[in-house]
Structure 1
Amino acid sequence: MNSSSEVNLALATDWMSTISLFILIPVGSFGCLFNIIIFTSKQLKKNSCAFYFLCTSLFELCILCFGGISRLATEHFGSTLISQNRMYCKIRSYLMTAIGTIAVYFVLLAAIDRCMATSIHVRYRAFSQIKIAHRIVIGTIIIGIVISIHSFIFFEPQLGCIPQPGVYALFYSVYLIVCTSILPDSLILIFSLWTFQNIKRARLRNVANQTINALHQQRMQKTESQLVKMMLTLALFSILIDLTKVSCYTYYFMTTNISKSSYQQTVDVFIFQFGNVFLYLNYSKSFYIYTLASHLFRKVFSEIMQNFYHKLLRLLPKNNIHPITIIQ
């Protein structure tokens, strides 16, 4: 392969990495901040599903700020900390693995919560409570911290910060494919479809009389369907992004120890950076998917923006009084 193709591929890799990081980090961070504001609003702050989405946004924001900025410093500002400092390499790899795993399973918990909330069985509906959600979130964080400890032990600064070649590289690839992609995304789809089935059954049930409780149930079903729509759309996009990202990382990690030509090494770097683009895209997408998928989400967001605008208008006259007005 001639050198011009290798140079062009290296330039394309650098361009792709630069554009993606400089766009996805601020865009995704603003999206996560808006999610946090919306899910803590009075309309949604007592909803257990919204609480799971809130926790997801918090962890996604951590990944974008910590992981994205550190990679930006390494690739575009000459930082060598990740490839020369062994402890920093291990800590960063551990945090990225643990936080990413926990964020994925928060979405799964939201799917399970919606499934339970729409069940015809009272004992299942009791699962969908904010106090239970608080306990489950704490338990999920503890489990995520424990099961990700292997990345702290076996990541090393070799040509970057990568898992040790050999058995662990294979294990880490399987962990990415199964534990952070196929398993949670499949369960999210299953519970989301199950929730739609519960809603359909609830609508088909014969109601003896149209009471206030029935009207309340109808309003609840509208809210549940909006949350399920958000969740299902998010799951579909997550599956497509995860499969692409995991395929790139699996190939890169499993072939790191193989002898390659200069051009093949350039191709491998391109594949790895392509996976990074989808990594940060996965943590930047939720706000924009929620906005497109849910009327409820757009409504709450619009109300928050209007309230902020009106408060700003009330403050402006007090801070911009003309001197002649003061004299008068």
Structure 2
Amino acid sequence: MSSTAVVLNNIYTGITRYYLPVVFVIGLFTNVANILIFSYGRLRTNICSWYFICLSISQILSLFFNGLYRIIVNGWNNGYDYSQISMDLCKFRGYGFVLSVVLSRHFLCLILLDRWMITSRSASLRNKSSLKVGRWKNLRNRGRAIHPSTRATQQTLNHLLIRQSRSDFQLIRLSLIQILFFIIFNAIYSTYYLYFTTTISQVRTGDRLPIELFVTNIGQCLLVTYAAVTFALYMLASSVFRQEFQECCMLSIDMFCDHYSLVSSSLTSQQLNTCISYYLNDSHQPWYTSLATLLPMLIGVFIMFRNIRRTVYDTLSVPVFLAVTGIFLFRIKKYIETIATDIQANNSTKEEYLKQIAYNHVIIGVLLILLLILQILAEKQAKVPKKKTM
């Protein structure tokens, strides 16, 4: 191996070992935040927001199939590729990476097409930019519309149209910035494969092969980086996105303070309304937002039952983890659904529901601390070498 190949390999190993893990963690959390914000409040009523949600999901796939794969193989495993063990695993990894890139381009095109339709002078094109078209064809109900006639209602509709046009303008700016940065971060990856296709018949000798391999690896690392910077682009480009993010953050802070006050004293009317609105919004969230809670639980169940016979602490951890899962699914979720469905409940009844949720959160917190202690003890016992019997 030449000195140039060694230097380039060391640079790429350093990138995958120190840079990509940071990008992966930031990208995973920010794309989940993108999904939650675009599915929250007034943004969720716009079809373009659903395209942005699908774009964030495709970027999460890119983080796993491209970013995490490179971190494990080149950063932590000294170049040993697990996908070479099985041809099916190799095909699955390659398919997942190509799928994530294709889906990102697909939804960017849909975003651009939707913004073009919303700014068109043709009324028929503007009408196609709707949730009905975005969620496939729905029942036709054009003749069943109720047309307002009073002046007050007309003023309200005008105000709503102004707010909607502002949101549309913000999404237009978001889509243009998104496409611009996608072109920038995708330039090396696309240019290299265009170059590779045109020079595929040439024999690569000397340092040409390691240099080309380094360039394509850097191009794919930039694709992973693009998946991690979209949240920052949204924050810088859109005041509506910043406002929705601020409302989500303030709501989380309020809920923390409200739960603290639940344990110590009764709720004020402002705290009660904040908690009720939070859980009402939580009960109306799309189904995929629950994956952020259910996936860690399923992974935890798999790990627990896999190591159940390793040590006695692992055996004790299983009922503790099942208790945490059961309290969340069958106690907390039940009270949240009750708050959303029990319309006739007064303030004292609603406060009692919230207290039960807070108490169950405290129990879960204690059980999680106990679970952490058991896992630390299990790891220590597993690392102790067993004495060989003569």
1:43 aligns with 2:42: yes
Q: Secondary structure at the match of 2:245?
A: helix
Alignment RMSD (CA, Å): 2.6
User: Shift of residue 223 of structure 1?
Assistant: 1.1
Decide whether aligned partners of structure 1 residues 119 and 320 sit closer, same or farther in structure 2, where only a CA change above 3 A counts: same
Which sections of structure 2, spanning at least 5 residues, go unmatched? 138-153, 266-390
Select between 122-131 and 213-222 the one with higher mean Cα deviation: 213-222
Q: Is the 8 A contact 1:6 1:263 kept in 2?
A: yes
Other-structure match for 1:26:
25
Q: Secondary structure at the match of 1:297?
A: helix
Other-structure match for 1:60:
59
Q: Whole-Å Cα distance in 1 between the matches of residues 255 and 198 of structure 2?
A: 55
* TM-score under structure 2 length normalisation: 0.57
Structure with higher Rg: it is 2
Q: Whole-Å Cα distance in 1 between the matches of residues 89 and 218 of structure 2?
A: 24
User: Shift of residue 61 of structure 1?
Assistant: 1.0
Q: Is the 8 A contact 1:13 1:269 kept in 2?
A: no
User: Shift of residue 302 of structure 1?
Assistant: 0.5
Which sections of structure 1, spanning at least 5 residues, go unmatched? 137-209, 322-328
The correspondence of residues 204-283 of structure 1 with structure 2, limited to 5 A, is: 212-251=156-195, 259-261=203-205, 263-283=207-227
* TM-score under structure 1 length normalisation: 0.67
Other-structure match for 2:12:
13
Other-structure match for 1:77:
76
1:306 aligns with 2:306: no
Q: Is the 8 A contact 2:61 2:96 kept in 1?
A: no
User: Shift of residue 234 of structure 1?
Assistant: 0.9
Decide whether aligned partners of structure 1 residues 8 and 240 sit closer, same or farther in structure 2, where only a CA change above 3 A counts: same
Select between 39-48 and 115-124 the one with higher mean Cα deviation: 115-124
Q: Is the 8 A contact 2:31 2:60 kept in 1?
A: yes
Q: Is the 8 A contact 1:74 1:82 kept in 2?
A: no
Q: Is the 8 A contact 2:38 2:52 kept in 1?
A: yes
Q: Whole-Å Cα distance in 2 between the matches of residues 249 and 280 of structure 1?
A: 17
Q: Which one of the candidate residues 246, 259, 263 is aligned to 1:315?
A: 259
Decide whether aligned partners of structure 1 residues 18 and 81 sit closer, same or farther in structure 2, where only a CA change above 3 A counts: same
Q: Look up the equivalent residue of 1:101 and give its one-letter code.
A: V
Q: Look up the equivalent residue of 1:266 and give its one-letter code.
A: P
Q: Look up the equivalent residue of 2:248 and give its one-letter code.
A: I
1:286 aligns with 2:287: no
Q: Whole-Å Cα distance in 2 between the matches of residues 123 and 239 of structure 1?
A: 31
Other-structure match for 1:124:
125
User: Shift of residue 132 of structure 1?
Assistant: 1.6
Other-structure match for 1:96:
97
Q: Secondary structure at the match of 2:132?
A: helix
Decide whether aligned partners of structure 1 residues 90 and 267 sit closer, same or farther in structure 2, where only a CA change above 3 A counts: same
1:21-66 C-alpha deviation (Å, 9 max, x unpaired): 2121111111101101101102211211101101111121122123
Q: Look up the equivalent residue of 1:243 and give its one-letter code.
A: A
User: Shift of residue 89 of structure 1?
Assistant: 1.5
Q: Look up the equivalent residue of 1:87 and give its one-letter code.
A: D
Q: Whole-Å Cα distance in 2 between the matches of residues 320 and 269 of structure 1?
A: 61
Q: Secondary structure at the match of 1:135?
A: coil
Q: Secondary structure at the match of 2:43?
A: coil
Q: Look up the equivalent residue of 1:238 and give its one-letter code.
A: F
The correspondence of residues 181-196 of structure 1 with structure 2, limited to 5 A, is: none
Identity of aligned residues (%): 24
Decide whether aligned partners of structure 1 residues 18 and 253 sit closer, same or farther in structure 2, where only a CA change above 3 A counts: farther
User: Shift of residue 104 of structure 1?
Assistant: 1.6
The correspondence of residues 97-176 of structure 1 with structure 2, limited to 5 A, is: 97-135=98-136
Decide whether aligned partners of structure 1 residues 298 and 8 sit closer, same or farther in structure 2, where only a CA change above 3 A counts: same
Q: Secondary structure at the match of 1:45?
A: helix
Other-structure match for 2:150:
none
Q: Whole-Å Cα distance in 1 between the matches of residues 71 and 199 of structure 2?
A: 24
Q: Secondary structure at the match of 1:283?
A: helix
1:159-214 C-alpha deviation (Å, 9 max, x unpaired): xxxxxxxxxxxxxxxxxxxxxxxxxxxxxxxxxxxxxxxxxxxxxxxxxxx95544
Q: Look up the equivalent residue of 2:87 and give its one-letter code.
A: R
Select between 300-309 and 259-268 the one with higher mean Cα deviation: 259-268
User: Shift of residue 116 of structure 1?
Assistant: 2.0
Q: Whole-Å Cα distance in 1 between the matches of residues 20 and 197 of structure 2?
A: 21
Q: Whole-Å Cα distance in 2 between the matches of residues 255 and 319 of structure 1?
A: 70
Q: Whole-Å Cα distance in 1 between the matches of residues 189 and 9 of structure 2?
A: 20
Select between 52-61 and 265-274 the one with higher mean Cα deviation: 265-274
User: Shift of residue 293 of structure 1?
Assistant: 0.6
Decide whether aligned partners of structure 1 residues 74 and 255 sit closer, same or farther in structure 2, where only a CA change above 3 A counts: farther
Q: Whole-Å Cα distance in 2 between the matches of residues 70 and 283 of structure 1?
A: 15
Q: Whole-Å Cα distance in 1 between the matches of residues 121 and 205 of structure 2?
A: 61
Q: Whole-Å Cα distance in 2 between the matches of residues 292 and 128 of structure 1?
A: 25
